[in-house]
Structure 1
Amino acid sequence: MRIALIHNARSRKNRRNGSSFAVEAQALLGKDFVPSDTREGTTEHVRQLYERGIDTILIDGGDGTVSTALTAIARAYPADRLPDIVVLASGNTNLIAGDVGFGLRGMEAIQRLRQGGLRSSVRTPIRLSWPGTDRMPVLGLFGGCAGYARAVRIAHSPTVLRFAPHDLAVGITLLSTFVSLMFRKSREEWLRGDPLRIETGGHVYDGQSFMFLTTGLSRLSRGIWPFWDAEPNVEGLRYLDVSAWPDSLLRATAALLCGRAPRWLRRHPDYVSGRTDDMTLVTESDFVLDGEVFSAAPGGVLRLERASRFRFLHA
């Protein structure tokens, strides 16, 4: 096993814990210690890791750092020679680590990794692209638009980020959403949604969307799971689209926050969930992928596809 580390010194836990781990890891790994940078900067570093034969990459940061690293790896490594991934949960949001995290951090993680005998799981990230533009595609594992983008903007507000780290920020975001639904003016703004056209598997959904979500993960934190399989034995990215002015929203939300999708919900036309290998979205909404907000492209066309499969290691 030849290992490298992509380290985000700006992530919340790394800032709080100081630089001792970074100093030790850099002394141990030398040029295979890579500071997290822009996607372009990280890609150049990762190309050098590939040239040196690195086959296992630790990612020390939150969801945004994992997205940056996976994007860089997909650009630098051949699809049939992707390295094993180790996610060390160190960010403000660690949704990905909640599903495929290593379980340890710091030098303890490196020492355990070198002992071998690890478990693993495979996940397929989302590949987000903007057809007809010069934007480079990016990879991530959880995203959405319409009401989800609006909620993330609340979570990214200075007040929430300052006083509500980690899962508490998500909780405050959900609370803020429901509080907004209690007042007529904000309720109408939220519930009327955003124009969204979805094309996937020969089907077209065209209308107003209250919220659209998609993921390549298999588990979210605290038992929340807002997806179900409309057809059995179908693989691909999971997605959920909730129509504007959805019927029984509070009842549906209560069920999905508990990871349940009762029969009435699966059959309800306001809630559409399934799996797909690829889909095209047309929307004026921003799209959020692993916490990063991407503005809509001219014409509003987005492409979501299954990226190459990555193997994640667990202690």
Structure 2
Amino acid sequence: MQPALIHNPNSRKNTQDKGRFVRMAQRKMGDFCVSALNDSHLPEHLSELKRKGVDFIVISGGDGTVSACLTAIANTYCDGPLPAVAILPAGNTNLIAGDVGFGLQGEDAIDRIMRPAGLKSKVRTPIRLSWPDDDRESVLGMFGGCAGYARAVRIAHSPTVLKFAPHDLAVFFTLFSSFVNLLFRRSRQSWMYGSGLSWSMKDADGSNAVKNIGRSFLYMVTGLEKLSHGIWPFWSDEAHKEGFHFLNVRSCPKDLPRACYNLLRGRAPEWLRAHDDYISDVVGNMLLETESEFVLDGEVFPASTSGRVMLEKGPAFRFLHV
């Protein structure tokens, strides 16, 4: 395999080390180490790496960097096999690396990457986010949501939170801030009432079946199979289904403290699975209609004029790790 490194110098950890890591990587990898200052430069960099025969791409950055790279990789390698991928976490949030991270850092990671034989692998399928009525290009990502989740991310992205809650703590704040706001009377009603959200999914015969029409307190999706610290707010009644996980908590949900206690510990007891206010499953596609923004791997995407958002199972990637 021919490895290459895509390094985001603007990621949190990479800005703090004053360029030491990337200089070391450039000495060892030469032209196969690329520092991408902006996501818009990724297509050009990846086209050059593809021309050089690169079939193993290592990403040094946070969740947003990984999302941008997966999107650009899928577009660049669309006419052949996708390269293997490895993640060296270096961002504000590294949720993806918590599931499929490489497992080594610094010079040890680069030395092992240069000897890729014998590395283990996990296959994950990102979510493809698109807007059917807009001319925006689709993007790939691993964790996102709307309604209360989008509002929580807005809070988690504030400078104060980022200063005191780096890495996984920022993710924790994102998940918990929705519920903390319920303690305050002024914000309780607006948070509980949520956002308008309806969805439809294509059945096996290609027809559309409306599954939900109403309002949502919290909506989340993921293509991952593990989150940090045992949190897993998803479930499915059928084993080995292919697609992405989703959770929808309806507006003004009942038994919310009890549900949070279980879901934040990775549990979905029978009473919760049968509860009308909490719906979770594994699906291959969902067409959403909502006035809410949609967040994917930390990036906030404004709602389209029509409010329609398409979520689909994306291409499968093989993530290498030690």
TM-score range, shorter chain: over 0.9
Output the CA distance in 2 between the equivalents of 1:117 and 1:85.
15
Q: How far did 1:177 drift? A: 2.9
Q: How far did 1:197 drift? A: 1.0
Output the CA distance in 2 between the equivalents of 1:114 and 1:3.
7
Residue equivalent to 1:9:
9
In structure 2, the gaps of 5 or more residues are 204-208
Q: 1:79 to 1:160 in 2, by over 3 A?
A: farther
Say if 2:149 and 2:174, in contact at 8 Å, map to a contact too: no
In structure 1, the gaps of 5 or more residues are none
Say if 1:79 and 1:308, in contact at 8 Å, map to a contact too: no
Output the CA distance in 2 between the equivalents of 1:178 and 1:260.
18
Are positions 1:218 and 2:219 aligned together?
A: no
Are positions 1:313 and 2:314 aligned together?
A: no
Output the CA distance in 2 between the equivalents of 1:165 and 1:127.
27
Residue equivalent to 1:290:
297
Q: How far did 1:108 drift? A: 1.3
CA RMSD after TM alignment = 1.4
Q: Secondary structure at the match of 2:86?
A: strand
Residue equivalent to 1:161:
162
Output the CA distance in 2 between the equivalents of 1:175 and 1:270.
19
If the length of structure 1 is used for normalisation, what is the TM-score? Answer: 0.96
What CA deviation, in whole Å up to 9, does each residue of 1:241-265 have, x standing for no partner?
1100011011001100100000000
Equivalences for 1:117-266 in 2 at 5 Å? 117-200=118-201, 201=203, 202-266=209-273
What CA deviation, in whole Å up to 9, does each residue of 1:38-69 have, x standing for no partner?
43321121111112110000000110010011
Q: 1:94 to 1:57 in 2, by over 3 A?
A: same
Output the CA distance in 2 between the equivalents of 1:230 and 1:313.
30
Say if 1:230 and 1:273, in contact at 8 Å, map to a contact too: no
Q: 1:141 to 1:158 in 2, by over 3 A?
A: same
Output the CA distance in 2 between the equivalents of 1:243 and 1:76.
39
Identify the range of structure 1 (75-84 vs 93-102) with the bigger mean alpha-carbon deviation.
Answer: 75-84
Q: How far did 1:271 drift? A: 0.6
Output the CA distance in 2 between the equivalents of 1:76 and 1:167.
31
Residue equivalent to 2:34:
34
Say if 2:197 and 2:288, in contact at 8 Å, map to a contact too: yes
Say if 1:2 and 1:53, in contact at 8 Å, map to a contact too: yes
Say if 1:40 and 1:72, in contact at 8 Å, map to a contact too: no
Say if 1:234 and 1:275, in contact at 8 Å, map to a contact too: yes
What CA deviation, in whole Å up to 9, does each residue of 1:112-149 have, x standing for no partner?
12332111000000000111211011010001000000
Identify the range of structure 1 (173-182 vs 230-239) with the bigger mean alpha-carbon deviation.
Answer: 173-182
Output the CA distance in 1 between the equivalents of 2:79 and 2:275.
39
Equivalences for 1:275-286 in 2 at 5 Å? 275-286=282-293
Equivalences for 1:92-111 in 2 at 5 Å? 92-111=92-111
Output the CA distance in 1 between the equivalents of 2:193 and 2:130.
27
Output the CA distance in 2 between the equivalents of 1:249 and 1:40.
42
Identify the range of structure 1 (108-117 vs 255-264) with the bigger mean alpha-carbon deviation.
Answer: 108-117
Say if 2:3 and 2:113, in contact at 8 Å, map to a contact too: no
Say if 1:8 and 1:14, in contact at 8 Å, map to a contact too: yes
Residue equivalent to 2:25:
25
Output the CA distance in 1 between the equivalents of 2:109 and 2:182.
44
Say if 1:39 and 1:71, in contact at 8 Å, map to a contact too: no
If the length of structure 2 is used for normalisation, what is the TM-score? Answer: 0.94
Q: Secondary structure at the match of 1:81?
A: coil
Output the CA distance in 2 between the equivalents of 1:37 and 1:299.
33
Which residue identity does 1:103 align to in structure 2?
G
Output the CA distance in 1 between the equivalents of 2:125 and 2:80.
14
Q: How far did 1:292 drift? A: 0.6
Identify the range of structure 1 (305-314 vs 12-21) with the bigger mean alpha-carbon deviation.
Answer: 12-21
